[in-house]
Structures are given as C-alpha cells and as structure tokens.
Amino acid sequence: MKLIKFLFGVIVILVIGSVTLTNRSVDEGVVVASLSHEISALQNDNAILAAEVASLGAIGNLRTKLAQEGYVESGKVASVSVVSSVASR
C-alpha cells in the first residue's frame, strides 16, 4: 500500500512538472516569435534606408544639389603638371 501511495505521489509530481515545463516553453515560444517578427521588421526598415541612401547619393542628385549651390559645370579638368618626387620613386 505504501508503494502505491509513493508511486501515486511521484506521478502527481511528474505531471505537475510536465505542465509547468510545457507552460514555460510556450511562453518562451511566444517571446521568440515576437523577437523574430521584430528582427524581420528591422531588416525591412534597414533595406528601405539603404535604398534611400543610395538614392540620395546618386550622381544625378548630386549634380542637382551642386547646381543649386551655385557650382557651374565647365567641362574643363584641372591637372597638376609638376611631378612629385614621391610618385616617381
């Protein structure tokens, strides 16, 4: 009789432990899903910002900004005719 009571107590403890662990794993699964969704949203925002940076740095956009600042495209290129001693080594 004592063995049956002991086994019944062990089974009850194991069932309570199983329910507790299952509940914790479900809670952690919800947190992981939430973090995964947040990571996906941040990666999407990062891609959008990278596209905006590329758009703002485009040469056509730079020409427009330079023209607005008063720079004029002359078509001439300036160069230095003196050879540096560092470059000739």
Asked if 23 and 29 count as a contact pair (C-beta separation under 8 A), the reply is no
- Structural domain harbouring 48: 30-67
Asked if 33 and 27 count as a contact pair (C-beta separation under 8 A), the reply is no
The answer to the question of residue 36 being in a domain is yes
Q: What is the identity of the amino acid at 3?
A: L
pLDDT of residue 49: 92
- The pLDDT confidence band at residue 74, using thresholds 50, 70 and 90, is confident
pTM, 2 dp: 0.49
Coil, strand or helix: which one is 5?
helix
The answer to the question of residue 55 being in a domain is yes
- The pLDDT confidence band at residue 45, using thresholds 50, 70 and 90, is very high
The answer to the question of residue 24 being in a domain is no
The answer to the question of residue 17 being in a domain is no
- Answer with the residue of higher pLDDT: 35 or 53: 35
Total domains in the fold of the chain: 1
pLDDT of residue 85: 64
Share of the chain above pLDDT 90, in %: 37
pLDDT of residue 62: 79
